[in-house]
Structure 1
Amino acid sequence: MRHNDSYYQQNSEKPQTDKQEKGDGIVDKIQQLGQTNIPQMEASNIHVLTIIGQIEGHMQLPPQNKTTKYEHVIPQLVAAEQNPKIEGLLLILNTVGGDVEAGLALAEMVASMSKPTVTLVLGGGHSIGVPIAVAGTYSYIAESATMTIHPVRLTGLVIGVPQSFEYLDKMQDRVINFVTQHSNISEEGFKELMLSKGNLTRDIGTNVIGIDAVHEGIINEVGGLGQAIKKLNDLIEEGKSHQKDVIQ
């Protein structure tokens, strides 16, 4: 009887241990990469990707900063693109901006995906977060969310080098071209917001809030999580219908 009791005890504990290890693995994945799938982590056809805090590029930021590391995001985008079980991408942003080149690289990758993508700005989509916010197939912004549009900046130590002015100007043109190509705002309108004086305290640039971002033509629609997921599912179904029509 003791042997049987020991057997049942060991076997009853094993599933709990496996389940616990699996749960710990999921928690580690969320903490390290800030991503998961919805509504069930393995079964969903939608991949969720978050751009949170400051976008970290070639320079590592202090550990107390909340960051999104672009070297973590890139393989997730590649995996979502090549995984046949993933049919759409939901990209949620609450970012203050960050590394310009890294932000543009992420925006270019999102824009080049063959699968439908919907972006949702919650809280803020500032600075280089603007190109990422417009990179999807369709974009939403929460009513209370803000977007800061300002010129590309470098530190005074770098600006002292003459060549950096040319670099700065070309980098700014890349941002302007990307945003205007992937949204409904004109180049003149975006430059006006970017170079507006007096809108930001002792600075140059513009803050747009919720519906203003839609009126300016930067974002498609004001909405939240429910609208974003519904739109993404609609885009997925439209893609399937188009494929059926092509086959027929």
Structure 2
Amino acid sequence: MFQSNEQPQEGDQNKDGQKGSGILDKIQQLGQTNVPQMEQTNIHCLTIIGQVEGHMQLPPQNKTTKYEHIIPQLVAAEQNQKIEGLLLILNTVGGDVEAGLAIAEMISTMSKPTVTLVLGGGHSIGVPIAVASNYSYIAETATMTIHPVRLTGLVIGVPQTFEYLDKMQERVINFVTKHSSVSEEKFKELMFSKGNLTRDIGTNVVGTDAVQYGLINEVGGIGQAISKLNELIAEHKKNQPDPQGELMQ
């Protein structure tokens, strides 16, 4: 599910006498193949799948993305000189609002080029994560559900509770409208729309509609996403100063 930024240590050998078996074993244990190996690519691929898990641990049968796993990877990708760009792939039902916003904020403040690709779904708090990158794609069949912030569990029915909920919702609205082309008016219209979702308010937006509303930059897949990221990396390198303080040509 997640990639490791660790490098093979001197002396680590597999049973065939080859070095680097340690990191490959760890990658395989995390459900990934050994292609591509981290040392062979300048792009770090990060996945947000299932439900974004926050401060409360979800049941073991739930497919989750733990924010305490994602944040160190973002830090490592930012400081690792071999990593020149971040590809973020989403297929999430949403989850913890504050954890999702924390991930989105970190992605949006990275100095390296970032591209997001929504596959399957980028619902609820997945929307801010999807728009946090420099450029975003959505598969033609993928969907994004936009709805008001909800609280689960026992809540105190006092005005302060509703004020807190309203402020949290404003944080989501402000982030999405700041990092995409959708207007605040349109986003609120989609959020509070009636009749689109069964037993709920909100809107389910399909691939081309997400682009039309300005939420996502373009409809596309993995090929387009990697091509765009490589383009952004090349542009980023061009604008970087050389050791003499002049821009690279």
TM-score range relative to shorter protein? 0.7 to 0.9
- In 2, Cα distance between equivalents of 1:76 and 1:19: 20
- In 1, Cα distance between equivalents of 2:95 and 2:24: 32
Worse overlay, 198-207 or 216-225: 198-207
Residue of structure 1 aligned with 2:82, choices 81, 85, 93: 85
> Are residues 1:160 and 2:160 paired?
no
Q: How does 1:225-236 map to 2 (within 5 A)?
A: 225-236=222-233
Q: How does 1:131-210 map to 2 (within 5 A)?
A: 131-155=128-152, 157-158=154-155, 160-210=157-207
The corresponding residue for 1:15 is 16
Q: How does 1:104-123 map to 2 (within 5 A)?
A: 104-123=101-120
- In 2, Cα distance between equivalents of 1:242 and 1:178: 27
Q: CA 1:38–1:196 in structure 2 vs 1: closer, same or farther (change >3 Å)?
A: farther
Equivalent pair of 2:24/2:34 in contact (CA under 8 Å): no
State which structure, 1 or 2, has the greater radius of gyration over its C-alpha atoms. Answer: 1
Considering fraction of residues, name the structure with more helix: 1
Q: Deviations over 1:125-183 (max 9, x none)?
A: 00000000000000000000000000001136315243210110000000000000000
Identity of aligned pairs, percent?
Answer: 77
- In 1, Cα distance between equivalents of 2:226 and 2:18: 34
Q: Give the 3-state SS of the residue equivalent to 2:155 in structure 1.
A: helix
Equivalent pair of 1:37/1:48 in contact (CA under 8 Å): no
Once superposed, which parts of structure 1, at least 4 consecutive aligned residues long, lie more than 4 Å away?
16-22
Aligned-CA RMSD value: 2.1
Q: Give the 3-state SS of the residue equivalent to 2:75 in structure 1.
A: helix
CA displacement at 1:207 relative to structure 2: 0.3
- In 2, Cα distance between equivalents of 1:98 and 1:133: 14
Q: How does 1:45-56 map to 2 (within 5 A)?
A: 45-56=42-53
Q: Give the 3-state SS of the residue equivalent to 2:118 in structure 1.
A: strand
TM-score, structure 1 length as denominator? 0.88
Q: CA 1:43–1:19 in structure 2 vs 1: closer, same or farther (change >3 Å)?
A: closer
Matched pairs, number: 232
Q: Give the 3-state SS of the residue equivalent to 1:86 in structure 2.
A: coil
- In 1, Cα distance between equivalents of 2:54 and 2:78: 22
Q: Point out where structure 1 has 5 or more consecutive residues left out of the alignment.
A: 1-12
Worse overlay, 201-210 or 129-138: 201-210
